[in-house]
Structure 1
Amino acid sequence: MTDVTAEGGHGAVPTGAGVPVEPRPALSRRDWPLYEVFVRGKRGLNHVHVGSLHAPDDEMAVHAARDVYTRRNEGVSIWVVKSADITASSPDEKDPMFAPSGDKVYRHPTFYEIPEGVPHM
């Protein structure tokens, strides 16, 4: 039987001879990744960005987000995303990014004529 330990709070970890155990480098709090936190409220349909926090891993980020951003039971779902994994457009790119849709008039309801036989539209 292999000896086990629950050192570090990560559950049973084998410690017997012949069991390879790779040490994980310890990160200081300064090196923890930054996470963006999104919470869906009880009555809301969408997750809303509520803030950011640092955490050592994804699971701890969810727990920390719950503790920090839903203290009064205002949420039903939490998303955490590493800030480094988010790609976003810049507000400076607003015109080149969104202007092309303005010249596609078929996307606007006023482009289409409503037939006379349609009672409600």
Structure 2
Amino acid sequence: MSDVKNEWPLWEVFVRSKQGLEHKHCGSLHAADAQQALQMARDVYTRRMEGVSIWVVPSATITASEPEDKAEFFEPASDKIYRHPTFYEIPDEVGHM
């Protein structure tokens, strides 16, 4: 059986524990297809009835940024002042914003 599992694709599992909260990555598992991945994720990651929603995503389809690209992706451009909150005038009627 372990040989078959090694041939199955790897799935990343995300569980939302309460209504209104975000899904959090809780682990990975091997499964033949999405439906089996959902069933296995339910059995492995929500045994105590703590989950309200499960996402399974094939690991091969996830694209992530690289740590060396941090500046390019996450630091705001200093030449685009319209992205800074000081660029906008807030009317007095808005109050304590």
| TM-score (norm: length of structure 1) | 0.68
Which of the two has greater helix per residue?
2
Q: Which runs of 4+ in 1 moved over 4 A?
A: none
* Structure 2 unaligned blocks of 5 or more: none
Please report the RMSD computed on the Cα atoms of aligned residues, expressed in angstroms.
Answer: 1.8
**1:72-99 CA deviation, whole Å, 9 max, x = no partner?**
1111110100000111111221112223
Number of aligned residue pairs = 93
* Structure 1 unaligned blocks of 5 or more: 1-26
Question: Relative CO higher for 1 or 2, CA cutoff 8 Å, sep ≥ 6?
Answer: 2
Q: What residue is the counterpart of 2:77 in the other structure?
A: 102
Q: CA deviation at 1:55?
A: 0.8
Within-5 A mapping of 1:13-92: 28-92=4-68
| TM-score (norm: length of structure 2) | 0.82
Counterpart CA distance in 1 for 2:49 and 2:81 is: 45
